[in-house]
Structure 1
Amino acid sequence: MDYAKISKDTIGHLYAGYRSLHDPPLAAELKALIKLSVSQINGCDYCCNLHRNEALKLEVSKDKIESLPEFTISSLFSDAEKEALKWAESLTNLDGNKKVQRTELSKHFSEREIVDITICISLMHTFNRLAISMRDE
């Protein structure tokens, strides 16, 4: 089902929000890792392939991409990346103390960046669910 064509206006608004995240302040590499991580957790094969390729184009190392599921114990990720990915995991699984997690995020990111990270995660959930439910296998 070509959901982007069928509901062009609504999907257009989602894509506009998605495109707006390509403006600073967030690094493109971090956004690609977040999108890939959320897609992995949600089990969206289409989005995993898309964002893996995006990360590779941004010159994120293959080792880092392959280590994404173990980011908490990998030395390949900065403390800031780890906190952003923990936030993504927590929002995807709807677990953990959000206030404590936001405090940890604020050690590495501005309020604007935290909002943009959260929007990136939320939009990825929407796109994962669209791809999983509407794409032909």
Structure 2
Amino acid sequence: MTAARIDRPEFAALTPGVSEALIALGKAVNASGLPKDLQELIKIRASQLNGCAFCLQFHLNVARDLQVPAAKLDLLATWREAPVYSERERLALAWTEALTLAPQGGADDALYERALAEFGAATLSFLTAAVAGINAWNRIAMALRFSPPLRPGA
């Protein structure tokens, strides 16, 4: 395992207001009513795509605490082929991938129209903010090599 350059508590201490701003973004998304289990699926998927060990482990822990079915966590990297996801989850995951992999094409008009029809403008805006937030955390955690948070007893 690669040693942390700067770990999460030190980052928070060195950058007053930054962690709090990202946490506030997450609280705003939570207050929107976007289901927490769906938020965790998109955070895990973005973290997989970005290769962020800290965020991947952190959000797997949260998802397990929320009792997200194990099959949804186990098959997330192959969600297109797995029958365990609802159409709403599939659209959220497609939106997450499009935004996370924006340099490879981004969200086309067809995906936007499907997501807008499913979520509505406000919820899609909060979903977009959630994807932006996890991508910000991924880049910070990866650059500074935050140590992945182990579950108690692990």
Q: Shorter chain as normaliser: what TM range? A: over 0.9
Corresponding position of 1:84: 92
Corresponding position of 1:129: 139
Say whether residues 1:47 and 2:55 are aligned partners. yes
In 2, the alpha carbon distance for the partners of 1:16 and 1:72 equals 31
Corresponding position of 1:110: 120
AA aligned opposite 2:135:
H
In 2, the alpha carbon distance for the partners of 1:96 and 1:36 equals 19
In 2, the alpha carbon distance for the partners of 1:86 and 1:53 equals 23
Say whether residues 1:73 and 2:98 are aligned partners. no
Say whether residues 1:9 and 2:31 are aligned partners. no
AA aligned opposite 2:92:
A
How far the C-alpha of 1:96 sits from its partner, in A, is 4.5
Query: Taking structure 2 as the reference length, what is the TM-score of the superposition?
Result: 0.83
How far the C-alpha of 1:11 sits from its partner, in A, is 2.5
- Higher relative CO (CA 8 A, sep ≥ 6), structure 1 or 2? 2
Query: Taking structure 1 as the reference length, what is the TM-score of the superposition?
Result: 0.93
In 2, the alpha carbon distance for the partners of 1:133 and 1:97 equals 26
In 1, the alpha carbon distance for the partners of 2:107 and 2:141 equals 29
Instruction: Tell me the percent identity.
Output: 26
**Which runs of 5 or more residues in structure 1 are unaligned?**
none
In 2, the alpha carbon distance for the partners of 1:90 and 1:36 equals 15
CA offset digits 1:97-125 (Å, max 9, x no partner): 53211101123111111001110001101
Within a 5 Å distance, the mapping from 1:25-64 to structure 2 comes to 25-64=33-72
In structure 2, the CA distance between the partners of 1:18 and 1:75, relative to structure 1 (3 Å rule), is same
In 1, the alpha carbon distance for the partners of 2:146 and 2:41 equals 25
Superposition RMSD in Å: 1.4
How far the C-alpha of 1:17 sits from its partner, in A, is 1.1
> Which secondary structure state, in structure 2, belongs to the residue aligned with residue 73 of structure 1?
coil
CA offset digits 1:22-64 (Å, max 9, x no partner): 1132101000000000000000001100111111111111111
**Which runs of 5 or more residues in structure 2 are unaligned?**
1-5, 148-154
In 1, the alpha carbon distance for the partners of 2:14 and 2:145 equals 13
